[in-house]
C-alpha cells in the first residue's frame, strides 16, 4: 500500500495556531523596530532631478521679463500657408474625389461643391483642411 499522509482536525488546528503565532511574532518585531515618521519618508528633488533626504538650498535665478510669453498669439497673427496637393482620384458622376497632400502624403476627401468646375485627375491644387462628418476634408480648393 502506498504511504498516505492523513491530517486530522488536531493537526490542522496546530498548523493554524502556529501560523497565528508566527504572524504575531512578526507584528511584534515590526513594533519593536520603531515607527517611521513622515519626515523619514520625504524625498526632495533638486533642479537636476536628483533625489535627496535633505531639502535643497534655495537658489534664485535671474529671469529676463521680456523672455516670458504670457499669452498665446492671436488667430490673425498666425499665418497659415495653404496646403498643396495633387488630385489622385475624381468621379465626375458622383461629384467627389481625393487629394494627396504633397508635404506629408495624407489623402483628403473633397466634394465638388468645394472645388472649381474644371478640376481633373493630376491637377496640382491648393486647399485648406477642415473637420467634416467623417474626418478631415479638403475645402476651398483652387488649381495652381
Q: What's the pLDDT tens digit per position in 45-98?
A: 888 888 888 887 777 778 888 888 777 767 666 667 778 999 999 999 999 999
pLDDT at 42 over 90: no
C-alpha grid cell for residue 58? 534655495
Residues 12, 3: Cα–Cα separation, whole Å? 19
Instruction: Report if residue 11 sits inside a domain.
Output: no
Instruction: Report if residue 10 sits inside a domain.
Output: no
Question: What mean pLDDT value characterizes the chain?
Answer: 85
Instruction: Report if residue 60 sits inside a domain.
Output: no
The CATH number covering residue 107 comes to 2.40.50.140
pLDDT band at 141 (very low <50, low <70, confident <90, very high): very high
How big is the chain by its Cα radius of gyration, in Å?
Answer: 37
Domain around 113? 83-143
Q: What's the pLDDT tens digit per position in 27-41?
A: 998 888 776 777 778
Instruction: Report if residue 36 sits inside a domain.
Output: no
Residues 29, 76: Cα–Cα separation, whole Å? 70
pTM for the predicted model, two decimal places = 0.45
DSSP 3-state of 136: strand
Q: How many domains does the chain have?
A: 1
pLDDT at 2 over 60: no
Instruction: Report if residue 139 sits inside a domain.
Output: yes
- Largest Cα–Cα separation, the chain: 98
Instruction: Report if residue 32 sits inside a domain.
Output: no
C-alpha grid cell for residue 55? 531639502
Instruction: Report if residue 63 sits inside a domain.
Output: no
Residues 97, 136: Cα–Cα separation, whole Å? 13
Amino acid at each position: 500500500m502506498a504511504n498516505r499522509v492523513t491530517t486530522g482536525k488536531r493537526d490542522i488546528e496546530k498548523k493554524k495556531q502556529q501560523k497565528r503565532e508566527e504572524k504575531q511574532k512578526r507584528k511584534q518585531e515590526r513594533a519593536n523596530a520603531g515607527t517611521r515618521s513622515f519626515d523619514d519618508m520625504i524625498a526632495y528633488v533638486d533642479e537636476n532631478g536628483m533625489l535627496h533626504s535633505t531639502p535643497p538650498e534655495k537658489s534664485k535665478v535671474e529671469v529676463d521679463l521680456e523672455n516670458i510669453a504670457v499669452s498665446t498669439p492671436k488667430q490673425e497673427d498666425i499665418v497659415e500657408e495653404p496646403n498643396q496637393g495633387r488630385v489622385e482620384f475624381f468621379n465626375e458622376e458622383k461629384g467627389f474625389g481625393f487629394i494627396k497632400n504633397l508635404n506629408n502624403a495624407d489623402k483628403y476627401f473633397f466634394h465638388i461643391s468645394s472645388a472649381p468646375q474644371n478640376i481633373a485627375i493630376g491637377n496640382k491644387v491648393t486647399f485648406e483642411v477642415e473637420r467634416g462628418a467623417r474626418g478631415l476634408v479638403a475645402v476651398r480648393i483652387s488649381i495652381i
